[in-house]
Amino acid sequence: MTSSAETTGMAPALDRIRFAINRAERLAGRPPGSVTLTAVTKQQPWEKVLPVLQAGQRAFGENRVQEALGRWEGAREAWPGLELRLIGPLQSNKAREAAELFDVIETLDRPSIVAALAREAERLGKALRVLVQVNTGEEASKSGVAPRDADAFIAEVRRHEALRLEGLMCIPPVDEEPAMHFALLRKLAQRNGLSVLSMGMSGDFETAVRFGATHVRVGSALFGAR
């Protein structure tokens, strides 16, 4: 069980991260507020999430559809402005639930997922906001489109009117300098006329801001270890 001390500690952590993002924006010569913090709630108890919500955080990232349903289903009335972003891999058999629950799907990486989400978005009568995940390190253990295939895959996504492609997402290898991966993602986005870059996590989000991140995904630095 989470203690009251741990719970009350969430809001100060949020303030520290917001301050670090603002400082990184300023050092990069970017306008204040140009970077959105996505709070990653994977495997976090509601007792840790609630104080962050109460402090005004509204963008949240989830890795699994079922876990997100258990946490957020029916929460929008209580928390106006809530934005849910799927940042974990998606299976085709979860496309319907994902399209219904999430505002943004960040992990498009296969034609089958693209087709499934397009069908569900059409059924719902909405343009579903999506990002393409690029496996910048070409790691076998990670999802994502290889950089050499990104242009063709982006074109494929754009063929579907029910999908609104906003940008790209990446997770750099843990044992490599992230800057080169952020630079590659920015280059791919610029070449394809995309404005959203979801990159940077707890250990490297300030570097990501320097390389143009519009969204940074922070979990452990905000909530502590799972």
Mean pLDDT of 103-126: 97
pLDDT computed for residue 10 by the predictor: 67
pLDDT at residue 6 tops 90: no
- Measured distance CA(189)–CA(191) in Å, rounded: 5
| 136: confidence class by pLDDT, cuts 50, 70, 90 | very high
- Measured distance CA(59)–CA(42) in Å, rounded: 13
Span 67-92, pLDDT tens digits: 999 999 989 999 999 999 999 999 99
DSSP secondary structure letter of residue 12 = H
Span 185-219, pLDDT tens digits: 999 999 999 999 999 999 999 999 999 999 999 99
Place of tokens 């986005």: 189
